[in-house]
Amino acid sequence: MQHSKSEANVKAIEEDARVATGIPGFDEMLEGGFPAGSLITLAGRPGTGKTIFGSQFLYYGAKEHKEPGMYVSMLEGRKQYQRNMHRLGLEIAPLEAKGLFRFLEMPTLTAEGLPAIWEEIVRNIEEYNIVRLVIDSFTAMTQAFQTQGDLRVFTHMLLGKIVGGAGCTTLMITETPHADASTGAGAAMQEFIADGVLHFSLVPVTGDARVRYLEITKMRGTDHQMGLIPVEIGSRGISVQSPHVGGRA
Ligand SMILES: Nc1ncnc2c1ncn2[C@@H]1O[C@H](COP(=O)(O)OP(=O)(O)OP(=O)(O)O)[C@@H](O)[C@H]1O
Ligand SMILES: [Mg+2]
């Protein structure tokens, strides 16, 4: 069983299959979705929509395509997460009962403890035939590292296991500290190693108003939308508006 699922993943990757997010308006901006088996970094400041985006991606896959997904959380507990998702109309429990959704709560550990965390993630991917994976967050997970070098070696090794080995399409959430992340000036290691990068932002306009944007700054092997893409978060979650013409911040 396990074996055949992994083969299915490999086949999807070879055929350059696309993994649709189901986020209204988004998939058509990148040839139907993320490349199967790719590693995508979701970067942005707090409250910009990264968790909601990742959760909708898993929910859609599970509900519409019966693809098992896993949310690995270092930041919030299962109950809190479920409550937040319920408010957006995403009912996780029935999918969990069918083995189509898994919430893996992970503590933030020391650098020594990290291999154990990764082992646990990989074990769950194999045991539950996970096809879609969200890690929330890379930042929380790697805070224990002292040097960029350690972090880099470790990330390469273990992402090789997840992305290369199991072949699941992975969204890795990264918290960015800077107000304007869209220029790419502060691009970090996780953006270089990723196959794709999405930047989430919340930009002040006149008065107290704020506009939410999403920008695809990288997507290997894909003809994708360029520039700032207006997005909205409402009671049904995140959705994409028609693109901003000529968009640069
Ligand atoms: N029902 C809703 N209607 C409108 N906006 C909402 C609703 N629910 C959540 N939001 C908005 O979405 C934001 C949370 O999005 P999300 O949790 O995905 O952010 P995040 O990027 O993961 O943040 P963090 O880095 O803090 O985890 C809230 O701050 C709020 O502005
Ligand atoms: Mg979040």
| For the chain, domain boundaries | 2-180+188-203+217-228
What is the atom index within ligand 1 of the atom nearest the CA of 52?
Answer: 18
What residue has token string 């083995």?
A: 99
CATH topology of domain 2-180+188-203+217-228: Rossmann fold (3.40.50)
225 lines ligand 1 (CB under 6 A): no
Gap between the Cα atoms of 137 and 134, Å rounded: 8
Q: Assess whether pLDDT exceeds 80 at residue 5.
A: no
pTM of the model: 0.90
Q: Assess whether pLDDT exceeds 80 at residue 130.
A: yes
Q: How far is the CA of 88 from the centre of ligand 1 (A)?
A: 10
Q: How far is the CA of 147 from the centre of ligand 1 (A)?
A: 31
Banded pLDDT at 184 (limits 50, 70, 90): very low
Classify residue 90 by burial, with Cβ atoms within 10 Å: 0-12, 13-18, 19+.
buried
| Closest residue to atom 18 of ligand 1, CA basis | 49
- 36-72 pLDDT, tens per residue? 999 999 999 999 999 999 999 999 999 999 999 999 9
